Structure 1
Amino acid sequence: MTEKPFWKTKTLAEMSNAEWESLCDGCGLCCLNKLEDWETGEVVFTSVACKLLDGDSCRCSDYENRQATVPDCIQLTLQGLREIQWLPPTCGYRLVDEGLDLYWWHPLVSGSPETVHQAGISARGRTISEEGLDVEDLEDYVVDWPMRVGEEQR
């Protein structure tokens, strides 16, 4: 009899820090700049990535110190997860919280950090860095693909 993986047997609140961190699939979508309409609260994604996002791995290049460099970087918590409406529909945290399973391409399922890119879920090859970009120009880079990734798999 095979033991079930931790994300099928534990709630997010029961997970160790290492288990929690491993739920990140490395898509990089959280690291895209977003714009919020102050009147409606609607949030839209841009294709402009945080200066710390490694465009190839779609991981933070300085994860441990990211908040010192990028003070408004989100530290995802259980409470935050339930309040943040812009998490992509394929997000491992979101899926587990909703009682759903991880997709085949998630590194915990596939065993490889490359499958999230091979499946076309990640930001790899779709972004530009925020460095040198004027914040006033962000509207020129609004995209909708981050909320549509994985549609054919749902």
Structure 2
Amino acid sequence: MDEWWNRVPLAQLDQRQWEALCDGCARCCLHKLEDADSGEVFYTRVHCGLLDAQSCRCRDYAHRQELVPDCVALTPDNISDLDWLPSTCAYRLRARGLPLPPWHPLVSGDPESVHRAGISIRGRSIADEYVHPEGYDEHVIAWVR
């Protein structure tokens, strides 16, 4: 089997390969808080309103940046600068030259493996429409690293 995901550098991936690298965990869709003094980032269980929390996929991926101005598009050029991405993120792993974990759908061949492994936010988040932005600190979580 050609494990292109562990072999081809991020900058050389075509669009199909780039999109396939996403494991569908939706951790990047969680709202984060940054400590103004230390710069430390804290994840909350509050997810973007565009996220379908069951599938862990964006409801309007093509227009997400127009609809959510602070949505960050991951690119080969910026991935190394996005320290807030979870340590399990395939883009972050590959940018550091690390292989994908066994639960990643490209490795397992099963898109549900990320959910079974407990990596995704499925069943553990709440839409931002139900939380006042000043109340995000009440939803800080420790299960994303």
User: Normalization by structure 1: what TM-score?
Assistant: 0.89
**Residue 92 of structure 1: aligned partner:** 90
Aligned to 2:103: 105
- Residues 28-69 of structure 1: CA distance to partner in whole angstroms, max 9, x if unpaired? 100000011222211110000000111111111111111111
Scaled by the length of structure 2, the TM-score of the pair is 0.95
Task: Measure the CA separation in 1 of the matches of 2:77 and 2:37.
Answer: 24
SS at match of 1:79: coil
Across the aligned residues of Structure 1 and Structure 2, the Cα RMSD in angstroms comes to: 1.1
Counterpart CA distance in 1 for 2:125 and 2:106 is: 25
Q: Could you say which residue in structure 2 is the equivalent of 1:151?
A: none
Please list, as runs of the form range in 1=range in 2, the aligned pairs for 1:130-145 lying within 5 A after superposition.
130-145=128-143
**Is 1:16 aligned to 2:43, yes or no?**
no
How far apart, CA to CA, are the structure 1 residues paired with 2:29 and 2:6? 27
Q: CA deviation at 1:107?
A: 1.0
Among residues 11, 30, 47, which one is paired with 2:45 in the alignment? Answer: 47
Equivalent of 1:120 in 111, 118, 121: 118
CA separation in 2, counterparts of 1:29 and 1:132?
18
1:150 alignment partner in structure 2 = none
Gaps of 5+ in 1: 148-154
Contact kept in structure 1, 2:6 and 2:100, CA below 8 Å: no
The residue that corresponds to 1:152 in the other structure is none
List alignment gaps of at least 5 residues for structure 2. Answer: none
Question: Structure 1 segments of 4 or more deviating over 3 A?
Answer: none
Which stretch of structure 1 is more off in the superposition, 23-32 or 95-104?
Answer: 95-104
Residue from 74, 79, 82 that aligns with 1:81: 79
Q: Percent identity?
A: 51
Q: What displacement does 1:79 show?
A: 2.9
The 1-side partners of 2:143 and 2:6 are apart by: 28
